Amino acid sequence: MMYTYKEKNNLIYKLNSRTAISYIFLLVLFSLIMSHPFFLLGLLLAVGVVIISADIVREWIVYLKVSLGFIIIIVLVNCIFVKAGRTVLWWGPYIPGLGKLRITLEALCYAVGMGLRFLVIISAFCLFNYTVHPDKLLKLLGKSGNRVVLALSLSTRLFPVMMGDYHRIKEVQRCRGVNFQEKRLWRKAQKYIPIMNIMLISGLERSFQLAEAMEARGYSLEGKSYYSLELWRPRDFVIFAALGLATALGIWLMILGVTDYQYYPVLNDINWKDGLQAGFFSMLLMIPAVLNWGWNKWPLLRSKI
């Protein structure tokens, strides 16, 4: 399993970093301001299709598995603690401090909607983590030596690097005969303590190496120059045009109130016309996947874009 950036031979990885970041930013922004389940599903479908075209499905599944636990917690907490809504699904026993347990359809649907929003955001960050080179991000945003940008770039790499170290060290320990299948909790914990120690030491060594490399390259010095190989290609302009159309359509639909959805006190009626509009909106956000499909299938198109 790959936990850090590793470039693959497809169009998603060849995009200008500004194009990729703009696409991911719009996905997150739309997921935060749109509440209609059709549009949230459309966003999830769009980012899912792009992730599939980028050939990072296995990595995406890991993110989805982690997200599933959080979504279950969201559903349980919202159904137990939120008693708003008129459509009662189940009356439960009396719970001290909470009163009589009352689970409503509106609370359940709201939790599912929030779960969809969470999946879109997690999927967007998965796409960002595996398709945007961290050094390009640092070079793009950190030209002024901004320490906040440096911290942001390092934090996005922290979890994948730690997971890669963890699995590599664990495999080495297995080769040395360490058994991680102990049934006793204390014995099992003792097996993992050396792994944590090695991860701590390797993290400190990596931080020293990074500091030395940044100092050698003149980070945060005055009057430094920049050398960039990132070019703007026709594919970048096509995707930006699609993002512009999607943004204009999204703003227009928000003005009309189509992207809003009321969960409480009664669920809004589902209008299938909204589903068609959400589908068209989602198709505009699938343009990178369509270009990638053509880029892989036709060498002539690859040379043109």
Query: What pLDDT shows up at residue 156?
Result: 66
Query: What pLDDT shows up at residue 171?
Result: 86
Query: What pLDDT shows up at residue 182?
Result: 74
Q: Where are the domains of the chain?
A: 11-135+231-304, 145-215
Nearest-CA neighbor of 37 among 223, 268, 204, 266?
268
Query: What pLDDT shows up at residue 267?
Result: 85
Query: What pLDDT shows up at residue 248?
Result: 95
Query: What pLDDT shows up at residue 160?
Result: 72
Q: Helices 37-53 and 17-33, interaxial angle, to 10°? A: 160
Query: What pLDDT shows up at residue 25?
Result: 93
Query: What pLDDT shows up at residue 209?
Result: 85
Query: What pLDDT shows up at residue 223?
Result: 60
Count of beta carbons in the 10 Å neighbourhood of residue 72 = 12
Query: What pLDDT shows up at residue 3?
Result: 54
Residue 22 and residue 25: Cα distance in Å, rounded? 5
Strands 99-104 and 88-95: antiparallel
Residue 28 and residue 248: Cα distance in Å, rounded? 16
Q: State which residues of the chain have pLDDT below 70.
A: 1-5, 138, 140-150, 152-153, 156-157, 219-229
Helical ranges in the chain per DSSP H: 11-14, 17-33, 37-53, 57-81, 105-131, 134-141, 147-175, 185-216, 234-256, 272-284, 287-297, 299-304
Beta bridge partners of 88: 104
Q: From residue 41, how far is each of 89, 197, 264, 270 by CA, in Å?
A: 24, 43, 20, 14
